[in-house]
């Protein structure tokens, strides 16, 4: 979402408060809060997030170069519903999809979601006065390690988060709860490299948000993540990035393993340094 909300509006026959809205595309992509069936809920409404030409061009790279799900509004809604159910079935912290309909129909696809109380983890990491982050981060890492175990065992790319950022986590009383599942990886042959990219992405997000405190928090994260072999693998190969062709080429041209995006390289270097310090 590119703009914060706060405006009152009517959605599907309900009085609602806009939480966020994308200013790009057709302007219909937004999340709102409302009261429905006697409870507070979040309604996520899916619109086109870019111009038609940009969406078409991006779709090609999304589907065939990176290997992600489709970009149109209905496909993003369906992807998010599927992944929320998948993660919940395996016991991971996500908002529940509620089987509720709006009193009046709307043209756009939507989901009614459980409202999660709490602030963004990214904001807590940026707050120098925030306390209690260490145990929550260690617990997050332990659950993440278990999720990656399952992803690799089941060959399920949907268990790899395609948007690894602490800006996509809510701190729910010390439990980091994921949201934003509009896109999913689709190539089961690349689970290991996609897991590596997720690890590097979260480490980079931690560094950018926590600043000088990042090294100590990363140490707690490493303590919680139970599969050290996977961390070692990510530290050596995670900088390749998400593009399908590079993983294969790197087997023949090892120098490509360090030629991914700059932020990814920095994250992988930080992971390698932290692992070395912990030996």
Q: Kindly state whether residue 190 falls inside one of the protein's structural domains.
A: yes
The CA distances from residue 47 to 78, 82, 109, 118, 233, in Å, are 13, 18, 8, 26, 38
Q: Kindly state whether residue 38 falls inside one of the protein's structural domains.
A: yes
Helix axes 262-277, 191-210, angle to 10 degrees: 90
Residues 257 and 130 both lie in one domain: yes
Q: What is the pLDDT of residue 64?
A: 54
Q: Write the CB contacts of 103 (distance below 8 Å, at least 6 apart in sequence).
A: 12, 13, 14
Domain that holds residue 150: 119-277
Q: Residue 226: phi, psi to the nearest 5?
A: -85, -20
Residues 130 and 240 both lie in one domain: yes
In the DSSP assignment, the letter for residue 114 is E
Residues 141 and 109 both lie in one domain: no
> What percentage of the chain carries pLDDT values higher than 70?
82
Residues 93 and 187 both lie in one domain: no
The domain boundary residue, chosen from 54, 89, 114: 114
CATH number at residue 53: 3.30.200
Residues 88 and 173 both lie in one domain: no
State the average pLDDT over residues 92-107: 97
Q: Are 225 and 279 in contact (CB under 8 A)?
A: no
Residues 97 and 124 both lie in one domain: no
Residues 198 and 106 both lie in one domain: no
Residues 166 and 257 both lie in one domain: yes
When comparing pLDDT for 3 and 179, which is higher?
179
Domain count of the fold of the chain = 2
| Model pLDDT for residues 28-79, shown as the tens digit of each residue | 889 999 999 999 999 999 998 765 655 555 555 555 566 788 888 999 999 9
- What predicted TM-score, i.e. pTM, was given to this entire model? 0.85
CA atoms lying within 13 Å on the CB side of residue 12? 24
| Model pLDDT for residues 9-29, shown as the tens digit of each residue | 999 999 999 999 887 767 788
| Model pLDDT for residues 159-172, shown as the tens digit of each residue | 999 999 999 999 99
Residues 123 and 76 both lie in one domain: no
Residues 265 and 141 both lie in one domain: yes
Q: Is the pLDDT of residue 254 over 70?
A: no
| Model pLDDT for residues 210-251, shown as the tens digit of each residue | 999 999 999 999 999 999 999 998 887 655 444 444 444 344
Q: Are 67 and 75 in contact (CB under 8 A)?
A: no
Q: Kindly state whether residue 5 falls inside one of the protein's structural domains.
A: no
Residues 61 and 85 both lie in one domain: yes
Q: Which pair of tokens denotes residue 75?
A: 């496909």
């Amino acid at each position: 979402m590119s703009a914060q909300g706060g405006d009152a509006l009517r959605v599907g026959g309900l009085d609602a408060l806009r939480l966020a809205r994308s200013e790009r595309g057709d302007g219909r992509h937004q999340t709102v809060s409302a009261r429905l069936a006697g409870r507070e809920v979040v309604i996520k409404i899916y619109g086109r997030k870019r111009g038609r030409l940009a969406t078409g061009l991006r779709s090609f790279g999304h589907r065939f170069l990176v290997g992600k799900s489709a970009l149109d509004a209905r496909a993003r809604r369906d992807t998010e519903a599927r992944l929320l159910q998948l993660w919940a079935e395996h016991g991971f912290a996500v908002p529940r999809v509620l089987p509720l309909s709006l009193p009046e129909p709307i043209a756009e696809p939507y989901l009614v979601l459980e409202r999660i109380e709490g602030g963004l983890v990214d904001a807590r990491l940026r707050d120098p006065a925030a306390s209690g982050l260490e145990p929550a981060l260690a617990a997050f890492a332990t659950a993440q390690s278990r999720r990656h175990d399952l992803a690799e065992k089941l060959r399920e790319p949907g268990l790899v988060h395609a948007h690894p950022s602490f800006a996509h986590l809510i701190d729910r009383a010390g439990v980091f709860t994921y949201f934003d599942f509009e896109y999913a990886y689709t190539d089961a042959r690349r689970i290991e490299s996609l897991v590596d990219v997720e690890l590097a992405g979260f480490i980079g997000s931690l560094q950018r948000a926590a600043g000088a405190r990042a090294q100590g928090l990363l140490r707690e994260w490493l303590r919680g993540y139970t599969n050290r072999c996977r961390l070692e693998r990510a530290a050596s190969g995670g900088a390749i990035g998400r593009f399908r062709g590079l993983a294969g080429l790197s087997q023949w041209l090892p120098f490509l393993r360090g030629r991914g995006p700059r932020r990814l390289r920095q994250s992988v270097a930080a992971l390698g340094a932290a692992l070395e310090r912990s030996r």
